[in-house]
Chain A
Amino acid sequence: MTTMISDLDIPGSQSTPTIHSDWQGGRLTMRGDSYPENSYELFDQVIHWVRHFLTDEQRPLHLELALVYLNTSSVKAMMDIFDLLEEAYETGRAVSVTWHYDARNERIAELADEFREDCSYPFAITPVRGEP
């Protein structure tokens, strides 16, 4: 018997992304800017959700991202999340990431690409015309 932890439904603000998780569907979505002073106040619950999903379930997990600007503190928190996915992938779990970005701003693609360098699971970086 597995216990389901509650899904995240966090509205975004000027400095924090909109975060939504779907335990049944095996999906986590995050969109917007992320530059809170202490990113772990926000991301600890996301890291917790991902860890639980990967421990309690055997189903695939997909991250759907449209993150724009991340401060260094948020970059560190996101790296922790991608590392959890990498550990799971290495034990044979199906995990994947799609990161959508505004085609006019290559900085976002560069940021996503630096994360992807340390990941061996499917990690798509997809340009969107106009607003992502």
Chain B
Amino acid sequence: MDLLSMRESYQHDRIMLCFNGPISRSLIEEIGKALRNYLDTQKAAPSAAMDVFAVYIEMTQNIRHYARSQGYDEELAAATVAVAHSGQGHYQVSAGNLVERADGERLVATVEALALLDKQALKQAYKQQLRRPRDAEGHEGAGLGLLDMARKSSSPLQAELQPLPNQRSFFSLTATI
């Protein structure tokens, strides 16, 4: 394993924290705690620190909900998460996971549609989504989380879908705070 090249690549991309592997409920909390502590030592503004944390939580919980709804095993449910400091007080939060190709295409279309909305329209869409009845499991699918992330971002969310064999794709999402 070439740890030095991993290290150099992280430093080059100013990655503060990253994770790759099966993600449990407690791991989300522990990484989240590390992220908050790190932002605190970096003297991030409390509002920016909270936005970064919020986007991290919505992304990782969306991945957990999706993997569970698909009945994915640990390996398929693995998430790749990175938080980078992009300078001038901006942060990038990215997360990627395997999805069924059709679901990935739907997600990319949703993210692209959100990019056309201004802050006021995003707020309106968020409030509408909030008032939709919850499903049997009590969560919303990705919709409410995506709207929340888009509202907290300083530029539109960026989604990418990379095809893999077996009708699956790798979906990745980046939010800039």
Interface residues of A (CB under 8 A from B): 14-15, 35, 37-41, 69, 71-73, 75-76, 79, 102, 104-108, 114
Contact = CB atoms under 8 A, between A and B. Distances in A.
B90 interface: no
Nearest to A76: B130
Interface in B55-70: 57-58, 61, 64-65
A26 B29 CA distance: 33
Interface of B: 25, 29, 33, 46-47, 50-51, 53-54, 57-58, 61, 64-65, 123, 127, 130-131, 134, 137-140, 144-145, 148
5 contacts: A14-B33, A37-B61, A76-B140, A105-B47, A107-B50
Contacts of B145: 72
B43 to A, nearest CB: 12
B138 A71 contact: no
A41 B139 CA distance: 11
A69 B53 contact: yes
Contact of A106 (B25, B47, B57, B134): B47
Contacts of B51: 107
Nearest to B49: A105
Contact of A37 (B25, B130, B144): B25
B140 A72 contact: yes
Contact of B139 (A14, A38, A102, A107): A38
Given A38-B137, A76-B134, A107-B51, A71 B29 contact: no
A102 B50 CA distance: 12
A35 B57 contact: yes
A105 B53 CA distance: 14
A76 B29 CA distance: 20
A102 B46 contact: yes
A69 B33 contact: no
B80 to A, nearest CB: 19
B50 A76 contact: no
A35 B140 CA distance: 14
Given A15-B29, A72-B140, A72-B145, 19 more contacts: A35-B61, A37-B64, A37-B65, A38-B138, A38-B139, A39-B138, A40-B134, A40-B138, A41-B138, A71-B61, A73-B61, A73-B139, A73-B140, A76-B130, A76-B144, A105-B46, A106-B47, A107-B50, A114-B123
Interface centre among B25, B123, B138, B140 (most CB of A within 10 A): B138
Contacts of A39: 138
Contacts of B134: 40, 76
A14 B25 CA distance: 12
Contacts of A104: 46
Contacts of B127: 114
